[in-house]
Amino acid sequence: MSHPGKPISELGLDSLNDRFRDSLSCEANKPDFRELDLGSPVSPLRTRQSGGLATATSSSSSSSGSFSGRNGPNPAAKRSDSAPNNHSGELSGSSESSPTAAESVRSAGNTRNFKPGHTRSDSGSTHPLIYSGQSSVNSPPLNVLPTGNICPSGKILKTGMVPNRSSRTDVLGSGMGNYGHGSIMRGGPAAKSGGIEAVSTVSSRVTGGGDLLKRTMVSADPEEVKRAGNEQYRRGHFAEALSLYARAIALSPANPAYRSNRAAALTGLGRLVEAVRECEEAVRLDPNYGRAHQRLGSLFLRLGQVENARRHLCFPGLKPDPAELQKLQAVEKHLKKCTDSRRVGDWKSVLRECDATIASGADFSPQLCMCRAEALLKLHQIDDAELVLSNTPKLETKPSQSKFFGMLSEAYSYFVMAQIEMAFGRFENAVTAAEKAGLIDPRNIEAAVLLNNVRMVVRARARGNDLFKSERFTEACSAYGDGLRFDPSNSVLFCNRAACWFKLGMWERSIEDCNQALCIKPNYTKALLRRAASNSKLERWVDAVRDYEVLSKELPDDNEVAESLFHAQVSLKKSRGEEVYNMKFGGEVEEILGLEQFRAAMALPGVSVVHFKAASDFQCKQISPFVDTLCGRYPSINFLKVDIEENQAVASTENVRIVPTFKIYKNGSRVKEMVRPSREMLEHSLRHYSF
């Protein structure tokens, strides 16, 4: 029988074997000082350093009558029957840096004062609950003297001597209640006394399929439910583990270890904000719970909240994990450089340091994503900025007083959002976002200035639009200029003012404003259209053709753009002194039905392209629609097609045997031949010979 509550000195002269058998009795729950690793629940005896003294530890939990390797007022610890604050089964791991099954798990390494009669799992201890599967219980033992409640039967041998192994094997007992994993017992007949079962039974019960999970979910034993959750977590089944931990919490709401384990599962699912809430609840239940503080610090670091991360990682009495501390210092260093660069407007450096901060460990920070978006916007990469904005994690967090660039974190997100909405001309959305930033952080000067600027720009744009509709173009130019004083990088205002200059016949100034708008927003279609029209008015046909060709690709179904391109191409040929014959807009690919028709077509002046094809050929079927598109895109070129199966005379004359083949003729002379060209090569050649 075990003797709870008695020190070793009162237990009499029991033999070591008797004490060993006592340790396997599970008539009451025992506290567990082990924390969960993601490896096998079986481990060899290990040597560890504790308090400067090298001792060997077993894979079993501490129990009555075992000596602890810690320094404390009473090395012979009493056993607590109730263990109300026991944190057995806590998932270990100092880092929450990645929401994957292969999370880095390490012990925090802090040691608490041991109180007789009140045992609590040391969240920062170096005892993992489940050790990595490097060897089994039956592996050759290390030559160290064991401590804890595992001891070889018979006399204790001297260091370096290997005991004779019994024919019976060591197996892992499931334990019960708060005893947890790691109870090693002798094999042989299945012993189920006190809830101890053989390994196979434990494996089938804890790691089984859906039916087993269902049975576990209705269990009234929170430790059994927690163990099943740990097994699912080890396997990377975070959703199942989450459900099991929730069940354990429902059964035992005051156990902080269950909350911390649930936070680990949430982290694995990428739900970091919920994981933070669970860790905060664990800390509320036990303010000195070091493991929860460490996990909370790691989560805050990933969220980019440096001060909160430091407060928990460096919690008094907790030895900071070196890896997490190194990440914290790297994040702080890059974030400071990012802040300094932003202050002086060095946006390339802001982007570089922002990326470095994310790579250093703050990989789930919405504010850093918004910082990237702001830097890209200032560098006139507004499409990339909007893409970053759309991919920024949407986290439902409670109001926080943490700051980013001197602004409340939530306000900064709306601050950047307002600027991006302005850049795309979504003025009403910009006003809404700027007002939200001002409401969240009313004392911030940057947010207040932005809100004022946004309102002034919206007002100027509305006034300019009204004047333009009234055909008061000079006043409209002035109104748009007023808006540009508040937002010098607004492409919409530049483009609107360019339209006013065009109406006033000031095409040079219209081109200048279009260039400004396109510098800010390179794919701005309206600005490109107005610049092409202004170039046409100034008879700059090369520039006009170039702009209309770009527009014809972006707007392939726009008939007005296609016609403008045709007229610009014709005008360009005329300006070069080329003869223009039989050129009409809206032509189609002409089908050649005979040799005489082919020869007549080749005698026409200008550029002609002949598509030799076969109706049965797959590649011809693929490229034919593209040829039709090119016919509309280059109306100054004559497009012809010849089916070599129906017109063998033409194919024989032109010596065409492979399809698709393209031949380009200029003024009746063949200048280029292409066999099965790519689309890019075909269009490049047409563009080259069209001028």
pLDDT tens digit sequence for 421-442: 999 989 999 999 999 999 999 9
**Contact (CB, 8 A) for 673 and 658:** no
- What value, to the nearest 5°, has the Cα angle with vertex 593 and ends 587 and 594? 125
Residue 31 DSSP one-character state: -
Instruction: Supply the pLDDT for residue 479.
Output: 96
| Residue 170 Cα distances to 47, 192, 632, angstroms | 20, 15, 82
Instruction: Supply the pLDDT for residue 681.
Output: 93
Task: Tell me the mean pLDDT in the region 576-603.
Answer: 78
Instruction: Supply the pLDDT for residue 340.
Output: 94
Confidence of residue 282 (pLDDT cuts 50, 70, 90): very high
In the Cβ-directed half-sphere of 580, how many Cα atoms lie within 13 Å? 20
Instruction: Supply the pLDDT for residue 404.
Output: 87
User: What b/e readout covers 461-494, taking b as 16+ CB neighbours within 10 angstroms?
Assistant: bebbeebbeeeebeebbbbbebbbebbebbbbbb
**Residue 263 above 90 pLDDT?**
yes
Nearest partner of 633 among 531, 564, 533, 541, judged by Cα: 564
Nearest partner of 656 among 643, 669, 667, judged by Cα: 643
Which tokens sit at 446?
């940057």
State which of 112-116, 407-411, 572-576 shows the largest mean pLDDT. Answer: 407-411
**Residue 646 above 50 pLDDT?**
yes
Task: Tell me the mean pLDDT in the region 620-648.
Answer: 89
Instruction: Supply the pLDDT for residue 399.
Output: 56
Collapsed DSSP state (helix, strand, coil) of residue 172: strand
Please give the Cα distance from 227 to 41 (Å, whole number).
11
**Contact (CB, 8 A) for 497 and 512:** no
Task: Tell me the mean pLDDT in the region 249-256.
Answer: 92
Q: How far is CA 398 from the centre of its chain?
A: 22
Residue 164 DSSP one-character state: P
List of residues 6+ apart from 351 with CB closer than 8 A: 372, 375, 376, 379
Please give the Cα distance from 314 to 153 (Å, whole number).
44
Concatenated DSSP letters of 419-462: HHHHHTT-HHHHHHHHHHHHHH-TT-HHHHHHHHHHHHHHHHHH
pLDDT tens sequence across 31-58: 444 444 444 333 333 444 444 433 333 3
Lowest mean pLDDT among 307-311, 529-533, 575-579: 575-579
**Residue 391 above 70 pLDDT?**
yes
Nearest partner of 395 among 426, 428, 370, 361, judged by Cα: 370
**Residue 144 above 80 pLDDT?**
no
Amino acid, res. 264: A
Confidence of residue 563 (pLDDT cuts 50, 70, 90): confident
* Beta strand segments in 228-385, E: none
In the Cβ-directed half-sphere of 609, how many Cα atoms lie within 13 Å? 27
**Residue 80 above 60 pLDDT?**
no
Instruction: Supply the pLDDT for residue 400.
Output: 64
- The domains found in the chain, sorted by start residue, are 8-206 (no CATH), 489-575 (1.25.40.10), 590-689 (3.40.30.10)
Which tokens sit at 152?
């070889």
What's the pTM?
Answer: 0.57
For helices 491-503 and 473-486, the axis angle rounded to 10 degrees is: 160
Please give the Cα distance from 594 to 532 (Å, whole number).
41
Phi–psi pair at 343, nearest 5 degrees: -60, -35
Structural element, H or E, at residue 186: strand 183-186
Collapsed DSSP state (helix, strand, coil) of residue 614: coil
Better-scored residue on pLDDT, 531 or 583: 531
Better-scored residue on pLDDT, 41 or 562: 562
User: What b/e readout covers 27-55, taking b as 16+ CB neighbours within 10 angstroms?
Assistant: ebbbbbbbbbbbebbbbbbbeeebeeeeb
**Residue 691 above 70 pLDDT?**
no
Task: Tell me the mean pLDDT in the region 82-92.
Answer: 49
Concatenated DSSP letters of 615-682: TT-HHHHHHHHHHHHHHHH-TTSEEEEEETTT-HHHHHHTT--SSSEEEEEETTEEEEEEES--HHHH
**Residue 264 above 80 pLDDT?**
yes
Q: What is the mean pLDDT of the chain?
A: 75
